[in-house]
Structure 1
């Protein structure tokens, strides 16, 4: 396994990315170029532009999602220290010496990210409805950005997926902590 690549510190958070994440974004850019090119009959250049911009947008919106988690964590007094991109997604990095926290804190931190992306997705719906029929890379990018933010990073983040030690998303954390609170009678 390769060492994470340091992307720098922004907003007090250390950002890192794995080699697999870089490969994932490049492959996604090519796949989205193919899909947008075939779906909208784009020229090769426009399709490559649509794919590349879509992948960049995915990366930026994932960071906005994590910024929401960071904001919630800071407000709760248990801040994040970083973000690590491991694929097309990333995870929050907390201090290694963070004490065990009550489930309610984990739930509130988990709820910090989805709303930003849901809001972006909803705000882009009118633009995507207007621009989609015109076609081109901008029509694709607007509609794809609305979908990615609203459906995947917004509502999709609330799916109760929790595979301990492998892959857990916000909804999985919320469900696990809610069950723990119920079990404790809190």
Structure 2
């Protein structure tokens, strides 16, 4: 489960499009269930104010928060985040879901429903870091480094993955992605069971 460093206003146009999309979809699904804002906020363990801001596209929720709301609505992150295939302007190269002030990015490229899996492309600038929250028990991630070197900060200790190498980790633990080097790190990420 991913998390941005803070829940605030979006930093870029692409991030604003993502925030607007998920807010609209959350509101639609909530209303289809006949739920009020407070009912969904309670189910997702959020404040009513935070959920209202998310639905209005006025908050930049952590990816972990989006995951919690998706779970409460009996859907998944990708169903809230990805554009419709036939939507005008649907991103051919992925949906920008996270962008740090240092230029680090995470693109959601696609997802499957059964079994649930997500394909991501990440870029971490030198010194870049992304802290994640634990996923559901049994969830795991596969990382394949295309360029640079990725450090996976795990509860059991750091794991270094170099160019052309892959690593699989259980993601039901605290973990982080780090680029501790002077060149950008680009890696693919597959999430299963989250």
Higher percent of residues as helix = 1
Larger Rg: 1
* Shared fold, TM over 0.5: no
Scaled by the length of structure 1, the TM-score of the pair is: 0.31
